[in-house]
Amino acid sequence: MRVSVIPAQITNVEDKITSSLSITQIIILILALLISFFIYLVIPPFLKFSLLKLIPSIILSGSISVLAIRRRDQNLVLNYLILYLSFLLRPRIYVLTPSSKYNHNPELNITKMSSKKVRSEIIPSSRQTDHLSELVKDSDKYVFKFNKKGKLYVQISNI
């Protein structure tokens, strides 16, 4: 008596093809089909076959279907196209780059200081001097402290 082993899952060519498709590839192929159907509905004569409808639907379906092809068994052609377009559409002028010549004001260039020190005085406005003089008069009530970064902290000792 002969015994033959029958596999539990018999696969044919169609099953092997569809099982190797990813969700993205299936969506791209369905998109091509929907665009062809939309062309069939919109272009006159409505809901009838015409060569005028056939040519654009074949061209669009073919070009969209090419995006679903895998390259090197990893990435879709669509992913390469997105990467290439993002490279082409990148900004060419970086405003915050310090070495750029774009929008550069030559008057603000820092020149080398000579060995002689130049003394510069900052004259405060009259409002600031009045306000500071009031604070100095009551200096026993306030404690002024500076931190390492130069921030001024004022503490009130007596109220």
**If pLDDT is split at 50, 70 and 90, which confidence band does 143 have?**
confident
Q: Is the pLDDT of residue 146 over 60?
A: yes
**Mean of the pLDDT values across residues 113-136?**
52
3-state secondary structure of 132: helix
Flag whether pLDDT at 116 surpasses 80.
no
Domain assignment present for residue 55? The answer is yes
- The letter for the amino acid at 64 is I
Considering only residues 99 and 77, tell me which one the structure prediction assigns the higher pLDDT. 77
Distance, CA of 135 to CA of 129 (rounded, Å): 10
Quick check: is 143 in a domain? Answer: no
For residue 21, tell me if it sits in a domain: yes
**Total domain count for the chain?**
1
Expressed as residue numbers, the domain containing 43 is 14-88
Q: Indicate the pLDDT class of residue 100, thresholds 50, 70 and 90.
A: low
In Å, how far from its chain's centre is CA 148? 38
Tell me whether residue 67 is in a domain.
Answer: yes
Q: Is the pLDDT of residue 14 over 80?
A: no
Mean pLDDT score of the chain: 75
Are 35 and 60 contacting, i.e. CB atoms less than 8 angstroms apart?
A: yes
Q: How many CB atoms within 10 Å of residue 28?
A: 20
Q: Are 67 and 28 in contact (CB under 8 A)?
A: yes
Query: Greatest CA separation found in the chain?
Result: 118
pLDDT value of position 2: 73
Q: Is residue 112 part of a domain?
A: no
Using a 10 angstrom Cβ sphere, with 0-12 exposed, 13-18 middle and 19 or more buried, the burial of residue 32 is buried
**Chain centroid to CA 143: how far?**
49
Predicted structure pTM score: 0.47
Is 45 a member of any domain? yes
Answer yes or no: are the C-beta atoms of 33 and 61 closer than 8 Å: yes
Q: What does the pLDDT look like over 39-72, one tens digit per residue?
A: 999 998 888 889 999 999 999 999 998 988 887 7
Helix (H) or strand (E) holding 37: helix 23-42
On whether residue 75 sits in a domain, the answer given is yes
Residue 108 resides in a domain: no
